[in-house]
Chains A and B, each alone.
Chain A
Amino acid sequence: MEMKKSGDKKQHKSVPILIWLLPLSAIAMSLFGYLEADGVYHRSEVDLLKTPGFTVVLEGVRDGIYPFTLLPAKEQEADKAGAEALSAKESVKQQEADGSGDKALPAEEPKKEQKADEAGEEAHKARTEITVKTEGVETKAEEKSESISESGPDSVSESIDVDMTVYEVPEESGCPVFGAYDYGNASAQYRGPADWSPEKNTEGMFAATGPFYELGEVDESYFADALYIGDSRVDGLCDYGDLEDYATFACRDSLTIYKLFDESLRFSGPGGIRGYASLSEILSFRSYGKIYLQIGINEVGTGNTKQFYEEYQKVLMKLRAAQPLADLYIDGIMHVTASRSSSDPVLNNVNIVERNRAISTLANGRDIFYIDMNPVVCDEKGNLLSELSMDNAHLKASAHSHWREFLLTHAALKQTAFLPAEGRERF
C-alpha cells in the first residue's frame, strides 16, 4: 500500500483508510460495549440483533462515562459514578414499586431541613395569629378540618378501572379534576400498583391549621411575588402569557419532576431579568409569596403514577423548606388534543388525568392548592381543543390568554370578613 506524503500535489494514490477504519471502530466499540454492558454500564441486556453494542458506549458518553477513563486503576471510581448516573435513569424506568427517584435529587443537607422546620413552625404560628381575628369562623373551620382529615380523601378509583367519573376532591382543594373519557389506549404499565392509591399525607410539613382559602379573582399585581416553575408549557406561558412584567419564571424544555433540582433552568424575572440558574439558586434569590408548578408531561412515559406522586410530594417538601411562607399551587398537567390522545398509547389524556388525580390529593386548601386549567382549553371530553394547538401538545402563542385568564381568576384568596354569611358555612 503506497503511503501518501502530505503536501503531495499529485492525487493519484490514495490511502483507503475509511473502508477499514469504519468497520473496525464499530466492531471495537461494540465489543467493548457488549462485554462491559454488565460491568460499568449496568445494562442487563443488549439486544444484538437490533442494537449494536456501541450504542451502550455512546449512551455512556452522554451520561459522562468515557471508555478511556476506565483503566483498571480508576475502574472502581468510574464504576460508582456510572452507577449513580445510571441508577437515576434506571430507577425512573423501573416498574417495581420502589419509587426511588432519590438519586435524581441532590442530597439536601440536614442542617437546611432543620432551619426550614423552624421557619415552617414560625409560619404556622403566623397563620394561626391571623385567623384569631375571625374567631367564629375559626372554630367551625377547625371542626370541619378534623372531620375531613379523619375520613381521608375520597378514594381514587382503582388504577386499573379506566372508566373514570369526575373525581371528588376535598372541597378545600379547589377546582375539581376534570373527568376524562376512556380512549381505550391507556397503557396499564404506567399506572400505580393495583393496591395503591395516593393518601393525603401532609402531616408535619404543611400547615395543619389555619383558615381555608377559596379561589377567586385577582389582578396581575398578585403575581408580583409569584414564581412559576415547569416544563416547555410554562416556557410558552413565560413568552406569551403576558405576565413577564410581574411573575418570575423558571422553566426548561423536557424538564421532569425527577430532574427539577438538577437542571439549569431558564430564569425570567420582572424588569427584564434573564438568565440561567438552578432551581435551588432561584429559590434563594428572594422570598416568593406563591409558587406555581406545572410539570409532568415529559415523564408520562417513564415510571408509574405512584413514583410520580411520591416524587412530586418530595419536591413540594423541598419547595416548602426553601420558601416556608409561599403558597404552593399544583397546576394540573395540561391535556393533549384528541388526535394525539387517541393515537398514542402513552401520551394520552387518560394517563394525564391519572397523574393529575394523584397529585391533586397533595393539596390541603391551606397553603397548597390544586388548580386545573384544562377546562378552559379543552372540550367537554377533556381533549385540548385542536384549534389552540399546532403540535397537539402545546398551546399556540395566541392561545395563552386562556391560561392567563384562568390564573387571574383562580388565585387562592383567604376567606375574609366581607364574604356573604352563607359562604362562611363552607368552613
Chain B
Amino acid sequence: MTESSLLFSGIVFLFRLLPAFIIIYLLTPQRYRSISMFFGSLIYYAAIEPHFVWILLLLVMLNALLAAPRSRWRMLLLVSLDVALLAAAKIRCVTAQGAALPVGISFYVFKMISFQADLYTGRLEQKPSFFQAAEYFVMFPQLLQGPIAGYGELYSGNTHKAGIREAEEGVSLLMTGVCMKVLLADQLGLMWEQIRRIGYESISTPLAWLGAYGYSFRLYYDFWGYSLMAAGMLMIFGFPYVENFRHPYAARGVADFYRRWHITLGRFFRDYVYIPLGGSRNGVARAVRNLFVVWLLTGLWHGQSINFLIWAAVLLALILWEKFIAYTLLQKFPILGRLHVWILIPVTWVIFAIHDPVLLKCYMTRLFPFFGNGINVNPQDWRKPLEGCGVELAVSVALLVPAVSGFACRHKDNVILKLVLFALFWFAIYRVVISSSNPFMYLNF
C-alpha cells in the first residue's frame, strides 16, 4: 500500500523529496543528469513498491541492453517479454486474492514497447545510451501514472537543462495540478464515497445522476491534475511539455473525446496497434475489426475486472455508431454529438467506476428507473452531497469550457494570476495537512 504522503500531492514528496532531488539534479553536471534521474527514480519507486522494484529493474535492463535498431527479432523478443510480464502481473491480480498490480507497470511497460517499436521502424534512428534509455523508462514524474510519452517526443532538442522561463512554467503547472487534485478531485471523491455508503439500491435518481457527474469530474481532475504535475516536473528538469488532456468535454463526439482524453494512451494504441493492423485503409470490415482489437486491449489495460470490458464494449459501440451508422445524422445535427459527450460519457464512467457487475446493474436501474423503485430511498438525499460539493461542482463545470482554461493559459505570465495560483496552492496544502494530521481522519464517521 502506498503511503499517500509519498505520492505527488503529498507533503513528504512536495516539500522533501522533490526539492532535495532538484538540488541534486542541479548540482549534477548536465551530461550526467540522466544518471541522477535514473537512480533517483529507482529509489523513489523502491520506497513506494519495495516488493516489485526488481521487476522494474529487470525490464529496464533487458529493454535498454538488448535493444537494437531495425532488428525484427530483437523487437519481437523484447515486446513479447514486456507484454508477457504485464499479462502475468494482471493474471496474478485476478487469481491471487487481494493481490494488486505493481504500481505503474501498465505505464512503464508501454513506454518500453513503444521504445522497441520506434527503434524497429526507424522512428528512433539510433539506439540511445544505456542511461538515457533507462532514464526514459523510469523517470519518476511519469513512472506511476504516465503520460506514456514517446522517446523522440522527450529527447528531441537540448534536454536536462531548463531556462528560468521553462522552470517557472513547470512550477506553475505543478501547482495547478496540485490544486486540481486536492481542491476539486478529492472533494468530489468524498461525494462518491457518501453515495457508496448509502448503497446503490437506495439512492434516488437525482442522486444517481449527481454521482455520475461527480465521479466523471473527479476522475478528470484527478488525472488531468496528475498529468499537469508530471508535465510541470519534467519541464523543471529540462524536458518538453507533454500534453495528455485537451479539453475532452468540449469534444464533438465520443470518438473525438478519446482523442482528447489520455492522449498518450490513445496515441499508443493508434501508432502501435491500429495503424500496424491496417487502420481504416482496407475497408469498413477491417476498420471495425481493428477498432475492436484496440478497444479490447484498452479494456484489458485499464483493469482486471469485467466492468472494464463492458466499458470498452460500450465505447466501441458508440464509436461505431458515430462513425458508420449515424455519421450523416451527426453531420447535420452536431448537437447530438455533444449530447453523446455530455450525457453518455458520464454514464460510461459509472461502468468504469463500479467493478462488481451486480452493483453496477443496481446503479444503472437507479440512473434509469424504468424497472422499479429503489429500496428505502430518501427522495431528498441529493441535497446534502450537493451542498457539500456545490462549489467544487461549479468550478469543475466552469473549467470544462475551453475558453476558461484558455484564458488562464494565455495570461499565464500575469502576475496577479500567479498570485492567485499561489494562494490556491497553499490552500490546497492546508487541506492536505489537515486531513493527514489526524491519522484517523480517514475514519471519519
Contacts and interface: CB of A to CB of B under 8 A. Distances in A.
Interface of A: 4, 6, 11, 13-19, 21-23, 25-26, 49-52, 54-55, 58-59, 61-62, 231-233, 239-240, 242, 253-254, 297-298, 300-302, 346-347, 390-391, 393-394, 396-401
A interface SS class: loop
B443 A347 contact: yes
Contact of B415 (A17, A232, A298, A302): A17
B415 A6 contact: yes
A344 to B, nearest CB: 8
Contact of B175 (A6, A22, A59): A22
B228 to A, nearest CB: 14
28 contacts: A6-B416, A14-B165, A14-B413, A15-B413, A17-B418, A18-B175, A19-B167, A19-B168, A22-B175, A23-B19, A49-B16, A51-B11, A52-B16, A54-B429, A59-B434, A59-B437, A239-B381, A240-B202, A242-B376, A298-B440, A298-B444, A298-B445, A301-B439, A346-B440, A390-B197, A397-B198, A397-B199, A397-B202
B193 A391 contact: yes
A59 B196 CA distance: 30
A55 B443 contact: no
B171 A231 contact: no
B167 A4 contact: no
B445 A16 contact: no
Interface of B: 5, 11-12, 15-16, 19, 164-165, 167-168, 171-172, 175, 193, 196-199, 201-203, 375-378, 381, 410, 412-416, 418-419, 421-422, 425-426, 429-430, 433-434, 437, 439-440, 443-445
Nearest to B375: A398
Contacts of B15: 26, 52
Given A18-B171, A231-B445, A397-B377, 10 more contacts: A6-B416, A55-B437, A232-B445, A240-B378, A242-B376, A300-B440, A391-B193, A394-B197, A397-B201, A397-B375
B202 A18 contact: no
Nearest to A29: B426
A255 to B, nearest CB: 8
A296 to B, nearest CB: 10
Nearest to A12: B413
A297 B203 CA distance: 25
Contacts of A254: 444-445
Contact of A25 (B19, B377, B426): B426
A58 B430 contact: yes
A378 to B, nearest CB: 17
Give me the 9 closest cross-chain CB pairs, A-B, nearest first. Answer: A396-B199, A397-B202, A14-B413, A16-B168, A301-B440, A398-B375, A58-B433, A397-B198, A398-B376
Given A240-B376, A401-B376, A18 B445 contact: no
Given A19-B171, A400-B376, A302 B440 contact: yes
Contacts of B421: 18
A396 B11 CA distance: 34
Given A59-B434, A62-B434, A397 B378 contact: yes
B445 A398 contact: no
Nearest to A7: B414
A22 B171 contact: yes
Residue of A19, A58, A397, A401 with highest tally of chain B CB at under 10 A:
A397
A302 B437 CA distance: 13
B433 to A, nearest CB: 4
Nearest to A394: B197
Contacts of A18: 168, 171-172, 175, 418, 421-422
A242 B426 CA distance: 44
B445 A394 contact: yes
B201 A398 contact: yes
A311 to B, nearest CB: 17
B215 to A, nearest CB: 15
Contact of A391 (B16, B197, B203, B375): B197
Contacts of A51: 11
A17 B167 CA distance: 11
Contacts of A346: 440, 443
Contacts of B415: 4, 6, 15, 17
Contacts of B429: 54, 58
Contacts of B375: 397-398
B430 A61 contact: yes
A346 B445 CA distance: 14
